[in-house]
Structure 1
Amino acid sequence: MTVPEQRRPADLATRMLVLWCPDWPVVAAAAVGGVPVTSPAAVFSANRVVASNAGARRNGVRRGMRRREAQSNCPDLAVFPADDGRDARLFEAVARAVEGLVVGVEVVRPGLVAVPVDGAAAYFGGEHALVERLVDEVSAAAGVECQVGVAEGLFAATLAARCGEFVEPGRVAEFLAPLPVTELDQPGAERAELVDLLRRLGLRTLGAFAELPERDVVNRFGAAGVLAHRLARGRSERPPLRRSPPPELTLTEEFDPVVERVDVAAFLAKGLATRFCAALAGHGLACTRLGIYAVTEEGEHLGRAWRCAEPLTPAGVADRVRWQFEGWLRAAPGQRPTSGVARLRLEPEEVVEGRSLQLDLWQNGGSEEEDERAARAFVRVQGLLGPEGVVTPLLDGGRDPAGRVRLVPWGDPREPSTPPDATWPGRLPSPSPATVLDRPVPAQVFDAGGSPVGISPRDQLTAVPHGLSITGGPRRAVVGWAGPWPLAGDRRRPGPPRARLQLLLEGEPDGPPEAGLLHCAGTENPLWTVEGVYD
């Protein structure tokens, strides 16, 4: 009887080595802030813990915890803001140390770097010998601790690095099976909703999820579920694509004058990223491995490859270009280039089938194409007026209507600076005014006898409002009112009492009444201003 040859599955992922620097955002922040690595420290974003070191975790500081709770658990906690540029700048030394030993270095994100293991392991005499050299090199060159894992595929190798394990070839599914299904929600993957659904369905481990038939996964979870299912089974993120990207998709840009500042590079990266992704989308492709290569004015050649599990968006491309310029232009003396960048090349080194531009069924034309065209126009306007020339409003945390609106430059992340469940004592109740005035307009409120109405020390109106005069104009009758709402913190602040009041004014003949939001300060000679108008 002839025994069939054992062949490697076509979609089994390439064997990868991942080097992981634990708690890298905290390590980078502590290095910049001059805090010892042994001291408890945490990085916060939107008043929540996004990373903490071992010292902080021993004192009960956990990811997602509020700042006040974290500091109550650990009073000597060192607090740092999140800064992707800082993390990328300092991680360049680690990437450079790995690149000194192994070719094909791919930065996944600051703190995580991956390399194909087969060729390097053969050169150094095995995977264990390679790992020993890498750990020693990184420790000597960058002065940081790291862990290394080896497995088929970036996903499994990343999890192996956290355990410091070498997964035997062909046994990656066995390694993944007992791990919790929450491991699918890696940074940048955005699978929190999928993971929550799997847990509520009783699928607590990657092995339990992997046992589901792929047909059932498609019907229940869609394309995102299929990708996660392949990862849980130890397969590659997607089936191999036999199509090479056309050479014309490589984007090269000459800079005159040369780029010597990170903020200038970040601004230019927005327009380049939009053009780069638009060209890929025109061929039905999306980039998952981006090569960023630069030539300085003095002829120095710089380069780095960035890998991403999900297809890169224009914002993702722009972020990686900005991070890379942070690492190049703000490196330590002796490691940074001697002159500015004169030429930049973005190269799609690995692509997948992207979602083609399709016309919406109910929208008389291609809305996505129009959105991309509008985005390119906004970037062009920013090139003329500067980053602040095109802004979009973002509703954020705050107590007053004007303070809740934050203007974000076009292309920057639209992320609230405060948690969505944050409480704001003294916040104006709904509804908010449709129009908020940039400059409040002076006004006067009168009672039935024509005397001014103010706010008492007990946060009450001194009389029932009957009339309103704006900027000394004619007096208009008040047909309804609500409030007053004291401003939070006034009892601890010296000065007259302050509050807000909603007034409903008599409208024009045969017209609807008009409503406004007023602010008052003082009891005697009160100062009233109109802050907003309701539709």
Structure 2
Amino acid sequence: MTAPLRAMVLWFPDWPLRAALGGPPPHPPTALVHANTVIACTASAREHGVRAGQRRRVAQGHISSLRVLPHDVARDERAFLPVLQLIEKHAPGVALLRPGLAAVRARGISRYHGGEAEAADALIGILAEAGFPEVRVGIADGPFTAELAARGPTPRTVVPPGLAKEFLAPLPVRVLRDEQLTGLLIRLGVRTLGDFAGLDEIEVRDRFGERGARLHALAAGADSRPVVPRPPDPELVRSVEFEPALAGADQVAFAVRQTVDAVMLALADASVVCTEVRIDLVDDNGAVFSRPWLHPTCFDAADLVDRVRWQLEALGAESAKAPVDEARAFGGIVLVRIVPVAVDDAAHHQPGLFGSGTDERLHHAISRVQTMLGHEGVVTAALSGGRWLADRQVLTPWGERSTAPRDPARPWPGSLPDPLPAEVFRPPRPIGVLAPDGGTLLVDDRGALSAAPSRIDGDEVQAWAGPWPIHERRWDANGGKRGHRLQIVDGHDRAWLVFCTGDRWWAEGRYR
């Protein structure tokens, strides 16, 4: 068998959680779940007994505040791509083992830095400076031993050449990640890699076949797998410079069309489509204005031109609203750079034999309306957490990723239970709620009504319920936001949700 080559493996612990939560650890107790089974969990969750492989209900039984998120393999890969690119700048020939785990040949980088330990320390420093302080590096004979070394107790572990078998010997056979084989070995009394490596190679092959022989070689430190570098990323970034600078959004959008076509051709040559793009605008003062843009399916040339125009219009509107003494230095545009951030296989976006049906027509119609009305002309609604109806509704422009600023699953004391009003007034509109004597209905500090409600908005009250107090931010110096809610049915069988602040009444929503 070919002698193992020296390999350097970089391991980013809990990478799926890093990709899902963003930022380095520590993270709050969180678990990623697939098929109702925990795939990964944070260190803070493990402290309470949560483990990968547990059923969801068992994990939540260990800690009631455990946050549960779905596991997304594609998200892990997208988030790890910039890390691979960073590693490749300092250690060419990086190979992706899986998201959160990469390998490089140790020979070249160790010669450059004067030794394997020095090379590992250099990479750890570079990655820590880039925001990845949790990285661990292992160097050994072959990727298998190097990966186990990276999972050691120290940030950097170097197994000297020829000592892989001794390093692996005390480790349990479960590190081979073959449940069927390792379960049988444990029942036979073979519990460590040293015990497994001590078995006769021919007998192992006869009993367990080629798969067993391969794992037997790994246990003996004879990992002959080469580190195959990943193919280089296609060059998809395109930019255009203007001399003199262009000031109008329509001027820049027209001038950038040829550059957009070049981006689309580069994507087509790589057989991919763009689902997220970053547009960089550089003005004649040297300021850079960057913004990422998402698309519900994939960008075409017209979509990219629209995003350039919308970004310029937003910058112009922001500069116009700023006070004179705080106005941003926004001059004419001298450079536009289009950077595809997330791409997908073009085959996943090909229409079917008879077209894509309703979804395709709907997307085309909505995108057309958005082109005419602007970026925020078409929005989608998402549910957020909050006590007031306006806080629970988040409107996101079509194509953007909807993110709720407040978790709707958390408890919100004082919030309205289902069913919620079908119509929400943003902002709440003033409304008259009168007592039988014709005066304004009042609520005292104890939450008691001055009288039964008689009329609302000039109409007779048929039924009512409440009041229910709501008080946010009690610690606020200005008193926070407080009020008392009522549900009222008027003479036309319309149900209103109203609230009182001081001596004024406001309509928060209306049931239909």
TM-score range, shorter chain: 0.3 to 0.5
- The structure with higher relative contact order (CA 8 Å, sep 6+) is 1
Q: TM-score, normalised by structure 2?
A: 0.48
Q: TM-score, normalised by structure 1?
A: 0.46
Whose Rg is larger? 2
